[in-house]
Structure 1
C-alpha cells in the first residue's frame, strides 16, 4: 500500500533522508522511531506529496505522489501531532465539512456511526471543538479518516501530549483500523506504544533507516536497548 525505494531528500547540502526502502502492506502498522531530525516527518511529507524527493521513487496504492499528488492524497488520511480542526465548529460540523471536501456527504446516522467507531461520545460530537481535549480532537481525526475511506493512514507524533488512558485508547483504535485493512505509518517517540501496536518497527537516525524489527519478536525492553544503542553509536 505504501512503497518507497531509494527515497532521498536533500535540502541544499543537508541530506534529510537517505536511500530509504520501505513497504507498508494493507492492514499493517509500521512505526518509525527516531529523535527529532531523524527523517520521520520528511518521510511522511514525501508520501503526502507536500515535498518532492531528490532521488528514488514512492507510491501510495500504486499511485505516485510526485506525478499524481491529488489522486494519491485521495487514498490517504493524515493525523498530525495537533489535529487541525475549526474550533468554532462542533465535532460533527468539522466531520461534515472535511468529508464534503473529499466529495461525500454524510447523513446524521452515518456521522453517528463514524463517531461511535472513533469512540467519541455523541454528546461531545455536538460540542464546539474549542472545548475539546487533544484526545477528543484525535478521535474526530479518526472519524474523518474513516469517512474518507482512506486506504492508508499517516500519523506524525499523534501520541505526544496524550495522557496514558487517551494514548492507550488511541492505539486501540489504530488496531481496529488495521483490522479493516488500512495501512498505517506512524512516526513516534514512544517506544513502548510502538511495541504494543505490533507490526513492523523501524529505527531512523540522521535520515537513514538503521534498523527494522518485527514487534512480535522483541520485548519493549529489548526494543529500548536496541534504540539506545543506535542513538549512542
Structure 2
C-alpha cells in the first residue's frame, strides 16, 4: 500500500463548475459540472473530440477556461496555482520520462523537482509498490514497455504525494496482463483516498475499475452513472446510442 505508510494523508476532491472552453466560435467544452471525491475513480468515455482531453488539460492548467471554475477541496484555483502543482499528478497516454536514465534515477529526479528527497531504499520501495520488477529498477527507460513506464510514472505521482491523479487513455496499447496489473494498481491508489479522473475508450475497464462513469459528446457531459449500477453490456449499448 502507499499513503498511510509514508504520509499523513488528507482527502482531496476535484470539481468543475460550469466549466467551458472556446476556441473562437468552436466550443470544445460546454458547461461541465463534475466532481471526483476522495477514493473515487471517475472514468470519462467519449469519442475523439468529445472533450475528454480538454477537460484534463483544463484541470492541469495547460489551458485556461473560457468560463467556469476549477476547485480543489472547495478552493478555486487558477492556472498557475500552487494547489494545482502540489496536489495533482498526470499520467498521459505515453509517459514521457528520460530514456537514458534508469527507473530509480527518473524517480529520484522528479521527486526532487517536487521538493521531496528520498534514500535509495525508499525509492526502491516506491517502485516495488507500483509493481515494477526489481530487475528493471536500474535499467534505462528507453527499453521499457508502455506498462513499465506507466508504473514509473505512477511511482513518481505517489512519491510527490499527489492527492489527485489525472490519466489520459492509460490502457491504450496495453496487453491484457498489463491492463490487469494497471487496474489493480489504480484500485490500490483509490483505496488510499486519492481522487482519480481517467479519460478512456475502454468501456469494460471503466466498469471494472471505475466508481463513476461519464459519457461525453461534442463537449457536453451527457450521462453520469455509478459503475456499480450498470453492466459492461448495458454501458456499451448506452454509449453507442449516445455517440
Q: TM-score, normalised by structure 1?
A: 0.97
Aligned partner of 2:231 in structure 1 is 219
1:79 is aligned to 2:91 = yes
| Post-superposition offset of 1:190 | 0.3
Q: Indicate the SS of the match to 1:112.
A: helix
Equivalent in 147, 150, 154 of residue 159 of structure 2? 147
Equivalent in 15, 33, 37 of residue 3 of structure 1? 15
Structure 1: which 5+ runs fail to align?
A: none
Superposition RMSD on alpha carbons, in Å? 1.0
| Post-superposition offset of 1:168 | 1.1
| Alpha-carbon distance in 2 for matches of 1:92, 1:189 | 31
Aligned partner of 2:240 in structure 1 is 228
Equivalent in 37, 41, 54 of residue 42 of structure 1? 54
Q: Give matches, 1:39-78, under 5 Å.
A: 39-66=51-78, 68-78=80-90
1:101 is aligned to 2:106 = no
| Alpha-carbon distance in 1 for matches of 2:140, 2:104 | 9
Deviations along 1:24-64, one digit per CA (max 9) or x if unpaired, are 00110000000000000010011101111000111123443
Deviations along 1:14-33, one digit per CA (max 9) or x if unpaired, are 00000000000011000000
Aligned length in residues: 231
| Alpha-carbon distance in 2 for matches of 1:163, 1:69 | 37
Say if 1:67 and 1:170 are closer, same or farther in 2 by CA, change over 3 A.
closer
Higher mean C-alpha deviation, range 177-186 or range 103-112: 103-112
| Alpha-carbon distance in 2 for matches of 1:127, 1:70 | 33
Structure 2: which 5+ runs fail to align?
A: 1-12
